């Protein structure tokens, strides 16, 4: 039921971390892929890996999803190359560190909301409209446990992800019945971002506040992503799937 042969998947933030794992999994299950991030070289390297490992078509594109015009260009380029997008994964995200909430600048606030909320809105609106007018499709938003359990150090990020949770259900209603829109609400994963975490975050927060007592490994997003991208989840839309190790 997770066969994606003949499908085209577009993954933002696709060159590393969770995005990279999803790109490789989609290609392994038969999909052609569009890999988008701000760093074109990293996208191109992964595209070469996809072609070599799986024989899938792979298109690397540079895009800062916080920029509305770049989102539109990303959509145009994907459709020019493949003529369709069947799976959209809004994975790109950012949460810059700050010492206190009063130190958050307008620039930081706008950048966080741009990448985490504005970009996904624009991509869902554009690609979802094409999907609904055609053969349908699946949209997956990568949100965060911070949306429901915000900490002082991630307030703008948490608010943006809470907005993305709301958009998930709203777009599910807007584009049903042929387009399914769901979210994976992630906890802490061992990605490049985790390298900036202070030791106490892993030693105390993770061990004491997660039922599994550890952070997730990037590959552990794959099962949820394949489920939501494929016909295995054919009666699932507007849902937010927790993938957080039992965070409380």
- Average model confidence (pLDDT) across the chain: 95
Q: Is the pLDDT of residue 241 over 80?
A: yes
Mean pLDDT of 79-95: 97
Q: Is the pLDDT of residue 136 over 80?
A: yes
Q: Is the pLDDT of residue 76 over 80?
A: yes
Residue 110's pLDDT is 98
* Residue 36 near residue 11 (C-beta atoms within 8 A): yes
Residue 201's pLDDT is 66
Which residues does 120 contact at the CB level (< 8 Å), separation at least 6? 65, 90, 141, 164, 167
Q: How far apart are CA 46 and CA 216, in angstroms?
A: 22
Q: Which of 79, 157, 227, 235 is catalytic?
A: 157
Q: What is the pTM of this model?
A: 0.95
Mean pLDDT of 124-153: 96
Domains with residue ranges and CATH for the chain: 8-243 (3.40.50.720)
Specify burial of residue 45 (Cβ count, 10 A radius: 0-12, 13-18, 19+): middle
Q: Is the pLDDT of residue 246 over 80?
A: yes
Residue 196's pLDDT is 65
- Determine if the peptide bond prior to 165 is cis (ω within 30°): no
* Active site (annotated) includes residue 235: no
Residue 100's pLDDT is 96
Mean pLDDT of 98-124: 97
């Amino acid at each position: 039921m997770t066969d994606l042969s003949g499908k085209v998947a577009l993954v933002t933030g696709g060159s590393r971390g969770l995005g990279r794992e999803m790109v490789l999994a989609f290609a392994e299950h038969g999909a052609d892929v569009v890999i988008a991030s701000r760093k074109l070289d990293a996208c191109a390297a992964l595209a070469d890996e996809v072609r070599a490992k799986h024989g899938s078509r792979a298109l690397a594109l540079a895009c800062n999803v916080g920029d509305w015009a770049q989102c539109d260009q990303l959509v145009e380029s994907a459709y020019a190359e493949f003529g369709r997008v069947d799976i959209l994964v809004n994975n790109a995200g950012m949460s810059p560190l700050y010492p206190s909430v009063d130190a958050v600048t307008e620039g930081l606030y706008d950048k966080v909301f741009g990448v985490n909320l504005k970009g996904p809105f624009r991509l869902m609106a554009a690609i979802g409209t094409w999907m609904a007018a055609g053969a349908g499709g699946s949209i997956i938003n990568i949100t965060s446990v911070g949306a429901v359990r915000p900490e002082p150090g991630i307030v703008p990020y948490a608010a943006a992800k809470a907005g993305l949770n709301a958009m998930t259900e709203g777009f599910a209603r807007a584009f049903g019945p042929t387009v399914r829109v769901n979210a994976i609400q992630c906890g802490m994963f061992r990605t490049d971002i985790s390298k900036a975490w202070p030791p106490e975050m892993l030693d105390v927060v993770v061990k004491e506040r997660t039922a599994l007592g550890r952070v997730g490994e990037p590959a552990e997003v794959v099962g949820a992503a394949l489920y939501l991208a494929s016909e295995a989840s054919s009666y699932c839309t507007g849902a937010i799937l927790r993938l957080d190790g039992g965070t409380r």
